[in-house]
Amino acid sequence: MTDERSVDWGATGRKDYYRLSLVDPFTLAEVGSAELESGSSSVTWSYSGENQLGATIDLAEGDYRQGGYDRMVRIHHTVEIGDFAKDYTMATCFVSNMSAQPKYRQSRRSLQCYGPLWRHTKDVFALDFTRNPGDNCVDGIRYLVEVDGGTLVIGPGVDTTRTHTKGLHCSAGQNKGEALRAYAGFIGCELITDVSGALELREYVEPQSREPVYTFTSGSNCIYLPGYGYETNRDEPINKVVAYFSRESKQDDDPYPLSDSVQVYLNPEDDYSFQRCGRNRTQVLQVSEPCSHDDLTAQAQRVLDERSAAIEYVTIEHAGVPWLRVGDAVRYINDVDGPLSCIAIIEEMAVQSLGPFCVTKSKLRCYV
C-alpha cells in the first residue's frame, strides 16, 4: 500500500473527483446526496478564524433540505495518481443560506456554508452557566458542545482528569463559541474543526515545538507555482507581559494565594525590547486558575516568547495535499525565487475551485 505521505501530489496525470453528501447534524451520519456544479465551489480554512471553515458550494442538482429538515453538507475528494487512489473528506458544513441565479431556464444554486463551530458562534447562553471547584474540566466542555447537538472528540495530550480549582461562570447572553474556545484555552487545549463535522479538543502545542508533517520543495512532491507573497507585522510584537489572577476566597487545603501578579520583559539586546523601541508594548494575561508564582511567571514568559517577534507570512499556491490541515507545521523551501527556507504553521488554506489538482493557496506563518 502506498504511503500517502510520500505521494507526489503534483504528478502528471493526477485526477481529482468531488462529490457531496447530506449529513444529519446530530449524528453526523450521511443521509442523502446532492450533485456539485462541475469545476465550481470554494473552501477556505482559517486556523484563527471565528468559525475556522467557510465554503461556497454550487449545486447542479438536489437541495440541502431533505423532508423538511436542514442537513449539513460534506464534501468528498477522491485523488488518483498512478496506482494510488484514495477518498478523503474535505469538510462538513452547516448551510447559512442558498441563492439562485436563473438563466436560460436553468438555475445555478449557491450555498453559503460554515464549519461546525458555527453552531456555537451563532448562539448565546440563555441562562448562567457555572462550574464549581472539583468539577471535571473536560466534562464541562463536552456538556457545552453536546447539549446543543454537537459532537466532541478528545485528541492526544488532553488531561481528562483535570478538575477546577476555581469556579467558572458564563453569563446569560454570552457568546457560546467564544466561551468554548476560552474554556479550552484555560486548560491548555484548543478546539479544532474536524472534517467529519465534530469538534476536536486537543492539547495546545506551541508552534515552535510542532514537528513539520510535510515539506514544500520546488520541483518535487507538491508542485507549487513560482513566486510567493510576503508580509510581516513589525508594528505588533510585544515586549512586556503583565499576568495576574485574583479570587475572593479559597479552600483551607488550597496552597495558592488569593491573588498574585508578575511582569516579564524582553532582554535589552532583543529586537523590539523597550530599550530598542523606546516604549512598552504590553499584553495583559488574566489567568483563570490560581497557581504558584513560578508557574504564573512561566505562563507570562510563554506569551512573551510567542508574541515578541515579528511574524513573517509567506503565501504560496500549490497542488492540494488532501490530508494537510490548518495548524499543521510544514517546512517550506524555495531555492528559485528566494532563496527561502523556513518552518511554518499553516494559518489559512483556500481552494478557489474544486477542479484539477485542487489548486490551493496557503498562508504560512514562519517561525524558524
Same domain, 217 and 340: yes
Same domain, 34 and 154: no
CA atoms within 13 A on the CB side of 207: 23
Kindly report, residue by residue over 8-22, the tens digit of the pLDDT.
888 889 999 999 999
Distance CA 115, CA 53 (A): 5
Same domain, 153 and 177: yes
DSSP 220: B
pTM equals 0.80
Mean pLDDT by 10 residues, the chain (368 residues): 78 93 97 90 94 94 90 97 94 88 61 96 93 92 95 94 85 92 88 96 88 82 56 68 88 83 91 87 87 88 78 85 94 74 91 93 85
Q: Are 8 and 81 in contact (CB under 8 A)?
A: yes
Same domain, 263 and 180: no
Angle at 43 between CA 40 and CA 45, to 5 degrees: 170
Distance CA 74, CA 93 (A): 6
CATH number of the domain residue 321 falls in: 2.40.30
Same domain, 38 and 55: yes
Domain boundary among 115, 137, 157: 115
Same domain, 328 and 222: yes
Same domain, 325 and 219: yes
Same domain, 270 and 343: no
Same domain, 224 and 362: yes
Domain boundary among 95, 115, 135: 115
What residue numbers bound the domain in which 332 lies? 207-233+311-366
Residue 294 grid coordinates = 513560578
Same domain, 358 and 212: yes
Same domain, 325 and 359: yes
Same domain, 22 and 96: yes
A 10 A CB-CB count for 224 gives: 22
State the angle between helix axes of 137-146 and 176-186 in degrees (0 to 180), rounded to the nearest 10: 160
Domain boundary among 307, 322, 338: 307
β-bridge pairing 199-203 and 214-217: unpaired
Number of domains in the chain: 4
Distance CA 345, CA 213 (A): 10
